[in-house]
Chains A and B, each alone.
Chain A
Amino acid sequence: LAKTTQPISMDSYEGQEVNITCSHNNIATNDYITWYQQFPSQGPRFIIQGYKTKVTNEVASLFIPADRKSSTLSLPRVSLSDTAVYYCLVGVSYKLSFGAGTTVTVRA
């Protein structure tokens, strides 16, 4: 399983863009990059998934450089309700390993 490294915590303010970078130097050819959001006492919620280049959906964008050794989750114009733990996972669907995640705190 590819090991991932992401910042432990990040602070932001309402309306700002938050970018969380995840390093995964030993990503395998078949691995996808998936990001989840988790609120306290809830199961992780799928945010976005990608393999290469850029992926965008209604809540976030995922930027993946050509070498795929890192990825950046971009949350546009965050609000207080975006305060959560964000996990970057690399692998295939049948084997995912959660790291410590990034605690994002959004302040008013």
Chain B
Amino acid sequence: GAVVSQHPSWVICKSGTSVKIECRSLDFQATTMFWYRQFPKQSLMLMATSNEGSKATYEQGVEKDKFLINHASLTLSTLTVTSAHPEDSSFYICSANSDLGQTDQETQYFGPGTRLLVL
């Protein structure tokens, strides 16, 4: 249980184009999903919290107009990197909260990640 998928697993795009990454909770519904970014040899950095049916909450320093997040259903959140530039090249990982864990506390389960390379 508590499986999260991402698509695509990797993408290469030209500078200036937009790229959409999908995050799906496969066997549970998630009212809250999260988007992280991870640069090589670094830890995960939370970018934004995606809430189903409402606007995402962005962390300080993350441009909401550049990283568009849509959480239109209880099983799908999308991250669109608009006008991508080489510095946006990174590993993007989503997660979703599920109460299918071992405790009575909801647990975050992570997707496999999406590698983005902007040329």
Q: Mark B81-119, 1 if CB is under 8 A from A, else 0.
A: 000000000010111010001110111111111010000
Shortest beta-carbon distance, A16 to chain B, in Å? 25
Which residues of chain B have a CB within 8 Å of any CB of chain A? 2, 4, 6, 32, 34, 36, 43-46, 49, 91, 93-95, 97, 101-103, 105-113, 115
Which residues of chain A have a CB within 8 Å of any CB of chain B? 32, 34, 36, 41-46, 48-51, 55, 57, 87, 92-94, 96-101
Question: Are A99 and B46 in contact, CB atoms less than 8 angstroms apart?
Answer: no
The total number of A-B Cβ pairs within 8 Å is 65
Given A32-B105, A41-B91, A48-B102, answer yes or no on A94-B44 (Cβ-Cβ < 8 Å): no
Question: Are B102 and A96 in contact, CB atoms less than 8 angstroms apart?
Answer: no
Shortest beta-carbon distance, B99 to chain A, in Å? 9
Majority secondary structure of chain B interface residues (helix, strand, loop or mixed): strand
Given A96-B46, A98-B43, answer yes or no on A46-B111 (Cβ-Cβ < 8 Å): no
B113 contact from A42, A49, A57, Cβ within 8 A: A42
Majority secondary structure of chain A interface residues (helix, strand, loop or mixed): loop
A-B pairs with beta carbons under 8 Å apart, 11 shown: A41-B91, A41-B113, A43-B6, A43-B110, A43-B113, A45-B110, A46-B101, A49-B102, A49-B107, A93-B107, A98-B36
Question: Are B44 and A44 in contact, CB atoms less than 8 angstroms apart?
Answer: yes
Residues of B within 8 A of A93 (CB): 97, 105-108
